[in-house]
Amino acid sequence: MKKCFIVCLAVILLVTLNGCWNRRELDAISIVTAVGIDKSKTEEKIQTTFQIMKPSALKTSGSSSSGEQKGVWTLSSTGYTIFDAARNATMQTDRKLFFPENKVIVIGEEVAKSGIAPFLDFFLKDPEPRRLSWLLIAKGEASDIIKAKHEQENIPAKAIRGMIKASSATSTAVQVNLNDFAKCLSTPGVDPVACRIELIGDGKQSDKKMCVTGAAVFKKDKLVGWLDRPETRGLNWVLGKVGSGIIVVKSPKEENKDVALEIIRAGSKITPEIRDGKITITVEIHEEGNLAEQMSNVQLTNVETFKELEKRKAQVIKNEINAVLDKAQKEWGTDIFGFGEAIHRKYPKEWKELKGKWREEFPKVDIQVKVDAKLRTAGVSTAPSKVR
């Protein structure tokens, strides 16, 4: 029995561990870490910019304290399609582009305005690219973002991924991957958004820094506008995606001084109602936070002051939400909140009639915003105590 078991085990290992039949050696591939997509300036073609990892970067941790050594090189290529441009890139390198490690896709502003669905088709259909790659829209040219360097990382794509993840500390950006965007495009009653990225700073182009600065708003697959950071947080309030951040209000006792209130947790609830053919959406926000910092030396920890701070914090939240609602309804007619999908879930029969004309109905919808903001703790106060 023991010999029989060993023989069976050997047969199983021979069958299952048959090697990597399609493996590729590192010296035969160019590992792509980021892709930028723009319109060609000289011809009716697509310009792609690939950020490719240098072999030497594989031997390091991927970061450089000085920022002088760059772990990538950039390669630009044109083609009639993304796939065509990727193949044409091999004429400039002795290795075939390898996409499974790509984590960042940046779309230029002009491409986004024309409709980005055709430009995403390669990444959605080809087996190599991953659908979890972050999708960003550049304010300007995508190639400028791909070619930009970063002082803390010698692989800039790693820095971009880090900035997207770190944005959860402020909740003033959106975290959207390729799969999220494609899902929104195929879901009736919701328009997609993507993270906005741009180069900021004065002086030469090479001195400017990459920064995620809010969100890009789409109607179907076409870019129609931008949200700044407060407006983007307004969107995240509605979507229930605010996890942290700072709200700054004026001190109730010194109106020229600022008070920082930390967001600890937050949630949202969207409730649609249809009565006599009229649609009403109620958005309820529940937030809890702490008194984190004050720029004055007065005591703010009594009950009355806390209530006033809560009132002011709730008003800031409401203002941020109303700002993005106003743009979405009145300027663009884009339902980036998923209100249509909420109606679909609660009123499936009515949605069958609304579905085809939702874009016309959405600007007319009455949206009510209710905010419940609480302060839980005040930390250690630096304000002097009153002498009794």
Backbone angles phi, psi at 166, to 5 degrees: -70, -20
Query: How confident is the prediction for the chain on average, in pLDDT?
Result: 88
Please indicate whether residue 151 or residue 78 has the higher confidence score (pLDDT): 78
pLDDT in tens, 347-380: 999 999 999 999 999 999 999 999 999 998 765 4
Domain boundaries, the chain: 26-227, 230-388
pLDDT > 50? residue 329: yes
Give the CA count within 13 Å in the CB-facing half-sphere of 301. Answer: 16
pLDDT category of residue 152 using cuts at 50, 70 and 90? confident
Alpha carbons 177 and 130: distance in angstroms, whole number = 10
Average pLDDT over residues 160-172: 95
Domain boundaries 230-388, corresponding CATH code: 3.30.300.210
Inform me whether the pLDDT recorded for 69 exceeds 60. Answer: no
Q: Residue 353's CB: how many other CB atoms inside 10 A?
A: 10
Q: 34-48, 65-79, 167-181, 208-222: which has the minimum mean pLDDT? A: 65-79
**pLDDT at residue 14 tops 70:** no
DSSP string, 30-90: EEEEEEEEEE-SSSSSEEEEEEEE-GGGGGS-SB-SSS-S-SEEEEEEEESSHHHHHHHGG
Instruction: Give the mean model confidence (pLDDT) for residues 179-205.
Output: 92
Strands (E), the chain: 29-39, 46-53, 72-79, 96-98, 104-107, 134-138, 193-200, 209-219, 222-227, 245-250, 258-275, 278-294, 366-375
Question: Residues 251-295: pLDDT tens digits?
Answer: 998 999 999 999 999 999 999 999 998 999 999 999 999 999 998
Min mean pLDDT across 42-51, 86-95, 97-106 is at 86-95
pLDDT category of residue 27 using cuts at 50, 70 and 90: low
Q: Residue 4 has what pLDDT?
A: 55
Distance (Å, rounded) from C-alpha 294 to C-alpha 379? Answer: 11
Confidence (pLDDT) at 3: 59
**How much of the chain is helix, strand and coil, in % rounded to 5?**
35, 30, 30
Q: What is the pLDDT of residue 70?
A: 74
Q: Which residue has the higher pLDDT, 60 or 97?
A: 97
Most confident of 148-162, 195-209, 224-238: 224-238
β-bridge pairing 104-107 and 134-138: parallel
pLDDT (0 to 100) of residue 96: 87
State the pTM of this model.
Answer: 0.87
Residues 216 and 154: beta-carbon distance below 8 Å: no
User: Mean of the pLDDT values across residues 15-34?
Assistant: 64
